[in-house]
Structure 1
Amino acid sequence: MDHADFTPQDHDLAERADAYAAAPLLNCLIREVAEPLPATDGRRLYRLPGTGRLLRVRGTRRPAEPEVYAAGRWHRAGHPELVKVVAEELARRTGLPNHELPAEMTDSRDAVAALLAARARATPPGDPYTRSEQSLITGHPYHPAPKARGGGPVTGWLPYAPEAYARFPLVLLGVREDAVVEEGDTSALDALGAAPPGYRLLPAHPWQLDLVGAGLADAFADGRLIRLGTTASPVRPTAAIRTVYSPDDDLFLKFSLDVRITNDIRRLWRHDLLKLRHTDTAVTDAFAAMGGPAAWLSDRGYRTAAFAFEELAVLVRDGFGEHLLPGTTPLLAAALVEGFEGSPLDGGSDPAAWWEAYLRQVVPPALTAFADHGVVLEAHLQNTLVAVDADGMPAQALYRDAEGVKLLTDVDRAAGWERLVYCLVVNHLVEVAEVLAERHPALDPWPAVRRELARHQVPEAAELLRAPTVPGKTNLLLRWTGADGADARYLPLPNPLVR
């Protein structure tokens, strides 16, 4: 952009994008690498041990205004310099080079700028549920590049971005019957359109089709695959980006997406699909045994093409249907932390009573699934929906995403508990508790959490109340060292439950 064309509005957008992108990157750096020093001038002070640099920031939950000490003075570190500081620190610390992650950090920041500009021009969705799903401009608060979109051009992904309030039709394909692979209940797909004789209907995400289209040329040419137009009604992308919700059909669909989002290339991998029915059945049975009000949105089946098993896979997930309590509104838990128009945290509810109601809904299902049924829910903020009543009080928890679920028949119990504590406590309850404490300084949110955990006869929960530390996932180091995205590694964090 020519300097003469750079308006005050552009400058404000750039500053906001820098701030949004810097906060999770700083969170990672502070959690995983930095050594705390006594605070100064109202700022938190740190030493970066690899390079010896001094860093200071304002704020706690979302660090801001980073400054680096150099040449005898403090100076503000914009996002490009912050990326350079982090890269030099990690290269020194690990002894490993990495050119990919700094590029992702920059891509994430540029994506935020594009999203902010798009939101300013777009109309937010009218219903609170969709607004909550499409509110996450910061995204994962402890990932170095939470909004990276694979480095592709903005025009390739922005039309499908939940944060830009996107809505779009799905592409309808026909797959020759002898090439169809499916398992479970996929009947909802057949209601999305009509396929000619000898073919089965297969919806496709238009972004994914753009990404893998060249590899499907032969299938289109020989008739194994045909185009059948688009769905009659648009879908709304959820916070998960590749998962969409069709309000008209009350149906969630999850697609492959050949783009790295946070730690993983977001394909529906063959090995995950092949174990889907076993995992989902175990979770469905566990929630049925609980008898409500908590609900599980079942991943009831998948359909794909044998010649593009992962690329064209689509997973069918329950809509709200009979799961949702009458008179309640589902909201994404992550949106409560990020903030959105219509959030119950903006209402006049007593914060202590609201928090106790929240804990009564989200904690028991996760502990019961683990202790009584051997199911480890991935109960983090983006996989938890909280239904609130007309007064904004939590009345029900709904969990989703069988892909992230672990079963104790397949993993060690201690490892399963560690994962549950990370997802439910560190990634979820800590974040909501900190928002409440920030808004209501007189509220100590942790006694209520201790009481809720103590209500359940789970030996691990009793031990957690005494443990000096809880596990924090090291997303920055995982990405820098090129570890597998599913290979969680943790470092001990002070346990907020111990007072």
Structure 2
Amino acid sequence: MRPAPAAESVIAEELAAVRPGLLPGYAAELPGARAAVLTRLWRALAYEPLPFVTGRESGAHGLALRLADGRRLRGPHADPYATAAYVTVVHLDRERYDDPARLLGALGGPGTAGFAAELAHSVASLALSRAGARQRGREEWPAEDPAGGGSGKDWEWERRVTDGHPFHPGCRSRPGFSVAEQLAYGPEHGPVVELGTVPVPAADCLVSGHWPAELRDGGRLLLPVHPWQAAHVLKRPYDVWRPARPLMSLRTLALPGGPHVKTALSARLTSSVRDISAYSVRAAAPLSAFAEDLAARTDGLLHLTRTLGAVTAHSPDLAALLREPPEVYAGPGERVVPVAALATTSLPGRPGWLAEFARLALTVGLRLLELGVALEAHGQNLLVVLAADGTPLRLVYRDLADIRVSPARLSRHGIAPPALTGRLITDDPTALRRKLFGSLVCGALAGTAGSAHALATALETALPALPATPDLPALRASPLPVKALTLMRLSPAGTGDVWTELPQPRAVAHRAGAGPAGRERS
């Protein structure tokens, strides 16, 4: 019998203390969780420019990697657009590996030890998430098919996404969160979180936009705080404010009948520490005003949620944003669904639906890119407004904190650039295309399609109907840009985004000679 990795054992011990009834389900989900994370890691090994991989050879029986130390790593052909857990075992020389953390530890090299620990935690937390979802069942969730009824609140859709990022090996890594805290704060576990507030003298704060009277107390501002942040980072008491439902990002929560609250959460989730910089707070109001003008130029196909107010106590660990909920953009009989949740519905399997959605998303994305704005349109930021029968009608985009804005392109179209400098501003066409194509095509659309074959089929139908913008040829013919997510985690802190390229989906599908690979259960 294989020994249980430390993270799996630790979570099992904690689970026995706080939710023993979940232990059998957790144990049953572990093999599938290992395969899910191993599949994501295999994608990175097959396509990212990792320094310890010196060559790749594709043959009749799969893919073989030559390593810098002379060893060979063998596994199946890699579909970089697949979300199904199709990699259950790989072989490093004569050794068999079915656990991603053990494999990465065996590969060795700078940064691998720390990232291997994250992968072990990702596996264990993913098994916990799936077990909790299975035990709770779907009686509290919206109907599987958006045409089938159900209230479909945004937070209800978001808690269906049990598996996190569809392509990041650290998809469910939550270092610093105990089992009790995952159950209390993870959206997939269906909790209600009691948000708190911390008072800070107004003179000590930077405010952008309007800060509501409810969060003011004389000369002090009341800053919303996440309970985990208060306990582990701020280490100070707070006043209980209002109950809220956590969204996919964990640190953003939906207030009943009110705005979404983005809180600082100084924990590393997937690639980034989720605090809120002073730059983001300062940019919030001008970006929000700019977004309203921008949305008006999309012929009603896109809504951009407004940031109502933002504040920081001049610390990334104590800051918050209040954002308009996407639901306000749904008309009678319509519902707004985060794109990451589409894979949990029957919609992508309907004939022609994926192509229709791809045409809508790419039309909007390319039009904005031509004007001078590249959205980071991954499945968490991008939402789709669906008609009662599931037809995709319009898009909603939230969280402008990491878009890219080209003053030169805006000026060519007679649009005044927002009064901003810094990382959001660039005229580099490569940087602009990476931001949009990497998030939308290799992220949102690929995650919804579930395989290179399904994505290629949708794109082949959608592309001829797209507007002939200057960026369209790069989307049609060039390799597609994507963040090298594993290389980024193995690189020194502060390296920033690292990019690589993926072959066009049709090339992957043709090489594999396969149909749809299916979609990972979530």
On whether the aligned pair clears a TM of 0.5, the verdict is yes
2:275 to 260, 267, 276: 267
Task: Report what 1:209 is aligned to.
Answer: 230
Q: Percent identity?
A: 23
Judged with a 3 Å threshold, the aligned counterparts in structure 2 of structure 1 residues 247 and 436 are, in CA distance, closer, same or farther, namely farther
1:386 to 362, 384, 390: 384
Residues 1:328 and 2:327 are matched in the alignment: no
Within 5 Å, which residues of 2 pair with 1:97-496?
Answer: 97-122=111-136, 124=138, 125-127=140-142, 128=152, 129-187=154-212, 190-191=213-214, 196-214=217-235, 216=236, 227-231=238-242, 234-249=243-258, 251-306=259-314, 309-320=315-326, 322-337=328-343, 339=344, 342-345=345-348, 349=350, 351-352=351-352, 354-372=353-371, 374-409=372-407, 410-414=425-429, 415-434=431-450, 437=453, 444-452=457-465, 455-467=466-478, 469-484=479-494, 487-496=496-505
Preserved contact between residue 24 and residue 138 of structure 1 (Cα < 8 Å): no
Q: TM-score, normalised by structure 2?
A: 0.78
Separation of aligned partners in 2, 1:407 and 1:112 = 36
Structure with higher RCO (Cα < 8 A, 6+ apart):
2
Separation of aligned partners in 1, 2:217 and 2:441 = 50
Question: What amino acid is the match of 1:260?
Answer: R
Judged with a 3 Å threshold, the aligned counterparts in structure 2 of structure 1 residues 418 and 126 are, in CA distance, closer, same or farther, namely closer
Judged with a 3 Å threshold, the aligned counterparts in structure 2 of structure 1 residues 138 and 58 are, in CA distance, closer, same or farther, namely farther
Quote how far apart the aligned CAs of 1:8 are: 6.6
Q: TM-score, normalised by structure 1?
A: 0.82
Quote how far apart the aligned CAs of 1:105 are: 1.0
Unaligned runs of 5+ in 1: 221-226
Find runs of 4+ consecutive structure 1 residues off by over 6 angstroms: 5-8
Quote how far apart the aligned CAs of 1:24 are: 1.7
Question: What amino acid is the match of 2:369?
Answer: F
1:39 to 53, 56, 60: 60
Q: Aligned with 1:431: secondary structure?
A: helix
Task: Report what 1:65 is aligned to.
Answer: 88
Task: Report what 2:74 is aligned to.
Answer: 55
Preserved contact between residue 27 and residue 141 of structure 1 (Cα < 8 Å): no
RMSD over equivalenced CA pairs, Å: 3.0
Task: Report what 2:29 is aligned to.
Answer: 13
The alignment of Structure 1 onto Structure 2 pairs a total of residues equal to 452
Quote how far apart the aligned CAs of 1:413 are: 3.0
Quote how far apart the aligned CAs of 1:261 are: 0.9
Question: What amino acid is the match of 2:485?
Answer: N
1:28 to 44, 48, 62: 44
Separation of aligned partners in 1, 2:310 and 2:169 = 32
Q: Aligned with 1:385: secondary structure?
A: strand
Quote how far apart the aligned CAs of 1:149 are: 0.8
- Deviations 1:65-89 (Å, cap 9, x if unpaired)? 1231544xx74x231xx32333443
Separation of aligned partners in 1, 2:211 and 2:494 = 31
Preserved contact between residue 30 and residue 123 of structure 2 (Cα < 8 Å): no
Preserved contact between residue 24 and residue 140 of structure 1 (Cα < 8 Å): no
Residues 1:78 and 2:98 are matched in the alignment: yes
